[in-house]
Amino acid sequence: MNPDTVARLRDACARAAQTLGDTAPEGARRVAERLGVAGIVTPAAAPARDVPRLLGALHGQLLRETATTISAAFSAAGLPHVFVKGIVFVDDLYPPGARELADIDVYVARDAAPAARATLESLGFRVEADDPDRGPSPLRPGLTLVRAATSDVESAVVDLHWGVEPLTSLLPRDRTPLPRGVWDRARQGRLPAPCPGDHAALLVHHLVHHDFLHVVSLVDLAVLWPQVLADEGTTFAATARALRAGRVARIVADVLARDLGLARPPRLEAAPSDWRARRLAASLRLDRWLAWAAAAGPSTRAAITPGRVGRRLLAVEHVWNGAGVVWDALWPPQAHLRWRWPEARTRLGALARHWGSVGRKVAR
């Protein structure tokens, strides 16, 4: 990432800290730490004193080595695959330790998922119990597998995906495969990965899917952006549309230009100007965005809240797509109710608990 972009991001973190009432000189660093981008925003201390960053760099390196082992095993089993997000960028687009790396994200075809799971299990991974941040397994187009170790640095988590979660639902659904073009344009290397335009579109999808709380995906976009510009944004726009994230892709491109000083792809259409787009663009002004994302706790990231519903309604491609979002908020599927309210004896009892929870959040 170029120095000007880093400086702009640092300034936005400082303004976000002030919005949150943190006026101390270390406020920008604290905001950056909450968002997982401290290694980019704050300069590294002397190696002997920056133990957390050294451990992060070591963990990232070990995850890269684990991903290489997984890739070799998948290839030996004849399983086409692509890695996405941080695992692809660490050590290539980021210096060691600059970006926090929590897990390994890898996609396979839907019909290859059982074989991919078996291959991972042969490498010592085991399926994790449902994570509060991810929702119940029956609804998700993927599985989380964990390989335990004697220390956090040596442990490894793999998110195995065989589809993408639709943005027209607030809760996950297993019904949308990765677009065919992503597979056709994938680049081979140490780790197979989507081409830059496809990868950028998947990062925008990830932002929307997590209701803009995973700001590290925006930083990944900024780092990847020079490669996206190489084909003038054509692939980025097409894949974003296929993922039902086309309008947000155009708005996010404006955020990168307005707030981080990055060029806008010449072939990317102008951002929409309807009232939903204007509201979303205003909320994504970088310092404001960082402030409310930093203020969101772990429970906010998983729970159905008015803020999440509102942002998703602004982000969906068409107004009528909001029906699925509202339906999920008011009438979640049975799998979600059983997972969220296991103590409820009936569906009606679980719904009553759900409605009570939503009502309390709205009343705040």
pTM of the predicted model as reported, rounded to 2 decimal places: 0.92
Residue 190's pLDDT is 85
Residue 43's pLDDT is 66
Residue 46's pLDDT is 47
Yes or no: say if 189 and 158 are a contact pair by the CB < 8 Å rule.
no
CB within 8 Å of 196: residues ≥ 6 apart: 224, 227, 228, 230, 235, 236
CB within 8 Å of 167: residues ≥ 6 apart: 205, 208, 209, 243, 244, 245, 312, 315, 316, 317, 321
- Tens place of pLDDT per residue across the chain (364 aa): 788 999 999 999 999 999 999 988 889 989 998 888 888 887 655 444 566 667 777 778 888 999 999 999 999 999 999 999 999 998 788 876 788 888 999 999 999 999 999 999 999 999 977 665 566 777 889 999 998 776 666 788 999 999 999 999 988 888 899 999 999 999 988 899 999 999 999 999 999 999 999 999 999 999 999 999 998 899 999 999 999 999 999 999 999 999 999 999 999 999 999 999 999 999 999 999 999 999 886 555 566 778 888 999 999 999 999 999 999 888 999 888 888 888 988 889 989 998 888 787 766 6
Residue 78's pLDDT is 96
Integer Cα distance of 23 and 290 in angstroms: 15
Yes or no: say if 185 and 160 are a contact pair by the CB < 8 Å rule.
no
Angle subtended by helix axes 275-283 and 306-315, to nearest 10: 130
Q: What is the DSSP string of 266-294?
A: TTSPPPP-SHHHHHHHHHTSHHHHHHHHH
Amino acid at 16: A
Q: How many CB atoms lie within 10 A of CB 123?
A: 14
* 3-class secondary-structure state, position 211: coil
Residue whose C-alpha is closest to residue 317's, from 265, 267, 244, 221: 244
CATH code of the region 44-267: 3.30.460.40
Q: Facing residues of 187 across strands?
A: 193
Residue whose C-alpha is closest to residue 185's, from 80, 291, 263: 80
Residue 300's pLDDT is 59
User: 280-295, pLDDT tens digit by residue?
Assistant: 999 999 999 999 999 8
Q: Residue 231, class by beta-carbon neighbours within 10 Å (0-12 exposed, 13-18 middle, 19+ buried)?
A: middle
What is the domain partition of the chain in residue ranges? 44-267, 301-363
Yes or no: say if 247 and 189 are a contact pair by the CB < 8 Å rule.
no
Q: Which helix (H) or strand (E) holds 107?
A: strand 104-108
Residue 151's pLDDT is 65
User: 171-221, pLDDT tens digit by residue?
Assistant: 888 889 999 999 999 998 889 999 999 999 999 999 999 999 999 999 999
Buried b (16+ CB within 10 A) or exposed e, 265-301: beebeebbeeebbeebbeebebbebbbbbbebeeebb
Integer Cα distance of 292 and 348 in angstroms: 34
Tell me phi and psi for residue 228, to 5 degrees: -65, -35
